[in-house]
Amino acid sequence: MSHDFIVRLHDTDAAGVLFFAHLFRHAHDAYEGFMASLGQPLDGLVRAGCRLPLVHAEADYVCPMCHGEAIRVAVVLAALGETSFTLDYRFEDGSGALRARARTVHVHLAERGDGDRSAAALPEGLRVALDATPSSPPDEGATTARLSTTAPKWTEQPDG
Amino acid sequence: MSHDFIVRLHDTDAAGVLFFAHLFRHAHDAYEGFMASLGQPLDGLVRAGCRLPLVHAEADYVCPMCHGEAIRVAVVLAALGETSFTLDYRFEDGSGALRARARTVHVHLAERGDGDRSAAALPEGLRVALDATPSSPPDEGATTARLSTTAPKWTEQPDG
Amino acid sequence: MSHDFIVRLHDTDAAGVLFFAHLFRHAHDAYEGFMASLGQPLDGLVRAGCRLPLVHAEADYVCPMCHGEAIRVAVVLAALGETSFTLDYRFEDGSGALRARARTVHVHLAERGDGDRSAAALPEGLRVALDATPSSPPDEGATTARLSTTAPKWTEQPDG
Amino acid sequence: MSHDFIVRLHDTDAAGVLFFAHLFRHAHDAYEGFMASLGQPLDGLVRAGCRLPLVHAEADYVCPMCHGEAIRVAVVLAALGETSFTLDYRFEDGSGALRARARTVHVHLAERGDGDRSAAALPEGLRVALDATPSSPPDEGATTARLSTTAPKWTEQPDG
């Protein structure tokens, strides 16, 4: 499943390229498209009281994205657990070159008797739908691998 | 060095809590405050043509942040390399409880003769200023440890 | 010319509806699409040093927009002057109902000898392209009329 | 009542100055500070089910705001009605020069028996608190005057 967007002026900053935090906004747009493609639109889940907050998000920036560029975000399920799932995102330009990657980890929080929420088994419909999606291709790396093990294109491996 | 903010209505979403991507905006505000505290304000660096883009960003969300909450972000240098540096951020509420953590990795990109940019040694003034900052306290963990090894407060360890 | 978008989670706030300022982000996306449709893509103009900043923006909110709703933004030229142009935006839902209106006024700023910028005649190519677009339909009201003269659907005319 | 902020990198765009829509985010921050100063913090009102959505927003941009600039936003009540109120905002730099103005109109929406909301008298506590605030200074102009009657500093009066 993929999501397309154009880098808009408000995505960029005075340094002339996409401001890093906006990548996560686009990843979340792709996540919403992914959920809709599963027949599990996020707006319906939220309205029904279902909460799937992120407990982790990360991104690697491979090559700056500039105003006006057309970007495609491919979303794949990277891991499916009892109470959580992990999605991987590849941001590619029109020539198919990798520009950035991102990962988000979502946990299902259910209300407890005391009004608080705690992690609970994923809703059955969502679990089945996620389980039926194509899994991450092998060359995407194991889900336990850190995203940033591949060196960014315009940098040496950060040496810190 | 720390940066304070209040969770505003626009930070939240229809699920009632801070939208995850906005955490990175606040982390960047803290980064800008950190750079100013070093005598290396980012706006001056950007105007002078210096580029320190993020090549990696990540966050762990421990406990949702709600509209109106006062949050303090503590910034520390986690690693300093030849061409890059890594910052860690702790988001704490008024009682000192950890609400989220984030990490950003910045690489210095210098213009080459051909107009492109590639990783280059950090500007000397910046390197010296970073080197003089207090280092990460030991209990923050080694910089090579994944941020998410500690389980979020309101979830079991994601089990994916 | 029109631009479609879906109200995403990050567009909403804890009150459950689109946060007002994000309407202007969507209006600007529609503006960028409008400029591209004229053969005057904004990213190319910005890169060429052309500046068309907004000197005025306004919006009337007729009916709240909710997470998951599909919205169409119609853009029309409302006025064309020597140094400026005005665009009007109608935000409609799937049934064609008006949800919001916006207006933006853009001025062409050209660099002067002293490094500052001041208002200057629109670039000829842009002026010709704008002049060839369909004009505002009459029922949209004269450009001098205040947008908010029509009462919002879910309010009486603000009585302040 | 005033609210201070620094123009951050994410406030700017590739044209090098504050992206116009972000001005409204800062205006809303000032509005939240204004409400807190009245003893009517917005987060408490929202949590209590009170809705004060904007039905109108507008801004005039007098002089571009750049990365790193310190800006003060002064908020004053411009009009108080039975069901609505209007706030005016002046954005000034460190030297007191006007950089932008904005106005927001808020209407109180109360739930009706059928689940919908419609305009209703302002909550008494809020109305009294608003009524006790200093009114708009005369030189700010009558509330019925269009904000943009004063020509922006770096433009001629838009001539559209």
Distance CA B10, CA C116 (A): 34
Q: What is the DSSP string of B90-133?
A: EEE-TT--EEEEEEEEEE-EEE-TTS-EEE-PPPHHHHHHHHTS
For residue C56, the cross-strand partners are C105, D60
Q: What is the ipTM of this complex?
A: 0.87
In the Cβ-directed half-sphere of D20, how many Cα atoms lie within 13 Å? 27
In the Cβ-directed half-sphere of B70, how many Cα atoms lie within 13 Å? 7
- Chain B residues whose CB is inside 8 A of the C17 CB are 14
Domains in chain B: ranges and CATH = 2-131 (3.10.129.10)
Q: What confidence tens digit (pLDDT) does each residue in C38-54 have?
A: 999 999 999 999 999 99
Q: What is the overall mean pLDDT for chain B?
A: 87
Name which of B71, B69, B68, B64 is nearest B15 in CA terms. Answer: B64
- Chain B residues whose CB is inside 8 A of the D21 CB are none
Neighbours of chain D (3+ CB pairs under 8 A): A, B, C
The residue in chain A having the minimum alpha-carbon distance to the alpha carbon of residue D67 is: A14
Distance CA D150, CA D27 (A): 20
For the beta carbon of residue B111, count every other beta carbon within 10 angstroms: 12
pLDDT at C122 over 90: yes
Within C6-158, residue ranges assigned H as helices are 20-37, 42-47, 124-131
For the beta carbon of residue B39, count every other beta carbon within 10 angstroms: 10
The CA R_g of chain A, rounded to the nearest whole Å, is 17
Neighbours of chain B (3+ CB pairs under 8 A): A, C, D
- Considering the entire predicted model, what is its pTM? 0.89
Element (H or E) spanning B21, and its range?
A: helix B20-37
Considering the candidates A13, A60, A88, A114, report the single residue annotated as catalytic. Answer: A13
Distance CA A83, CA A127 (A): 9
| DSSP state letter for D85 | E
Secondary structure class of D81 (helix, strand, coil)? coil
User: How many residues are there in chain A?
Assistant: 160
Return the exposure string of D104-125: e unless at least 16 CB atoms fall within 10 Å of the residue's CB, then b.
bbbbbbeeeeeeebbbbebbee
- Are C29 and A8 a contacting pair at CB < 8 A? yes
pLDDT at C9 over 70: yes
- Chain D residues whose CB is inside 8 A of the B43 CB are 9, 66-68
Q: For each successive 10 residues of chain D (160 residues), what is the average pLDDT?
A: 97 96 98 98 94 97 97 97 98 98 96 84 97 71 41 41
More confident residue, D117 or C66: C66
The residue in chain A having the minimum alpha-carbon distance to the alpha carbon of residue B22 is: A21
Q: What is the DSSP string of A96-120?
A: --EEEEEEEEEE-EEE-TTS-EEE-
Distance CA B132, CA B125 (A): 11
pLDDT band at A144 (very low <50, low <70, confident <90, very high): very low
- Are B14 and C12 a contacting pair at CB < 8 A? yes
